[in-house]
Amino acid sequence: MSEMTIEQPSSKERASRQRIPVAILGATGSVGQRFIQLLAAHPWFRIHEVVASDRSAGKAYGDAADWKLETSLPTEAADLRVRSLGDDLESALVFSSLDASVAGEAEELYASRGCAVVSNSRNHRMAPDVPLLIPEVNCDHLDALKVQKKRRGGKGFIVTNPNCSTIGLAMAVAPIERAHGIDVMHAFTMQAVSGAGYAGVSSFAILDNVVPYIGGEEEKVESEPRKILGRWTPEGFKDAPMKISAHTNRVPVLDGHTICVSLRFRQSEDLRRHFPIEKLIDDVREALVAFRGEPQRLGLPSAPEQPIVLLPDSDRPQPRLDRNAQNGMAVTVGRLRPCPVLDIRLVALVHNTIRGAAGAAILNAELLHARKLLP
């Protein structure tokens, strides 16, 4: 090997060095591992720092993380030394998948130090100047960052993505909200065990069983979509004027949250007077299929070509068959049909740890980068 090749990095190495260094808070957990998996080959970002609880700190990531994904642990992550939460970080872009018990304070800390904190945790989602972002749906909410940065007196900020169920629901109905407005929604979820983290659901609790309760989940699904589908105004976020009722359930599925939805249009009576329900359903079908957003226009690396995939078969979507649609970044929708009580109903499915968590945060960060909003 000549000296030249030693001094001059290969184009691949150059590309690697030029990628933006990022840190991952809560890197050993189930969503943390998805971050590692999805960022390992990312064209823009490079895993530079991994942060976890004191129990893991100091260890190599490969030893600290009990790797549970089907793909093998990326070598570039295996040797990283795990940092302690609170340590100074070199990365200006920080992904967070911390447990809610520590996320609030830790994310605030790193934002105050000037980092862009892109969080999957619930703590700041409903804060009055924090975007609850789905890039396809509400990228205008990024305008809240000016207010947020001003509050903090610096360049750091926090951006959040919705709860794993909410993101499936909000994406599936966003085109409907845009087309006709939504007055009322009943959402009923059947959620995968990975949503509770690796140790979250004991096998003894869920084999041959359903648990019709997930702590705090219904409150999130009933409130977050109203913020997401609302608008940012000079006076702050203005919720979409819809009412939501959510029943959330845990089922023996590994990945993929299935959501049954019934909804009424905001102008239901008017619409129904002028159009047969079949025509309205055709409109909705077209709106779902045609739905595109900023990530598609910008060609963001993690953007699904088609954010909503409409499935024709009467018994789809199904989590095992459809959760990986468009690399797990699309929401699949099926069974669009009239509702005998409201107007229409449908079934939506989202991969809860990809589009519903790590993938959502990464897409958020990509949007921030494309919009030149990263510090």
Which residues in this chain contact a second copy in the complex, by CB under 8 A? 30, 68-70, 184-186, 188, 190, 193-194, 198-213, 222, 243-245, 247, 249, 251-254, 258, 260, 262, 314-321, 324, 334-335, 339-342, 345, 347
What tokens were used for 112?
């105050």
Q: What is the distance between the alpha carbons of residues 106 and 86, in angstroms, rounded to a whole number?
A: 7
Per the omega criterion (within 30 degrees of 0), is the bond before 317 cis?
yes
Residue 23: CB minimum distance to a second copy, A: 25
Residue 275: CB minimum distance to a second copy, A: 20
Helix/strand/coil for 36: helix
| Residue 257 is among the residues annotated as catalytic for this protein | yes
Residue 321 burial (CB count, 10 A): 15
Contacts 24+ apart (CB under 8 A), 367-372: 367/133, 367/135, 367/139, 367/142, 367/294, 367/295, 367/298, 367/300, 368/116, 368/118, 368/142, 368/159, 369/20, 369/44, 370/298, 370/300, 371/139, 371/142
- What interhelical angle do 164-180 and 277-290 show, nearest 10? 120
> Considering 124, 186, 257, 351, which one is annotated as catalytic?
257
Nearer to a second copy, 112 or 324 (CB): 324
Residue 85: CB minimum distance to a second copy, A: 23
Nearer to a second copy, 101 or 314 (CB): 314
Residue 88: CB minimum distance to a second copy, A: 33
| Residue 260 is among the residues annotated as catalytic for this protein | no
Residue 280: CB minimum distance to a second copy, A: 16
What tokens were used for 205?
């609790």
> Considering 164, 180, 186, 351, which one is annotated as catalytic?
164
Closest alpha carbon to 259 in 350, 136, 134, 196: 350
Q: What is the distance between the alpha carbons of residues 344 and 356, in angstroms, rounded to a whole number?
A: 24
Nearer to a second copy, 104 or 200 (CB): 200
Strand 257-265 and strand 344-350: the pairing is antiparallel
Q: Which residues are catalytic?
A: 164, 257
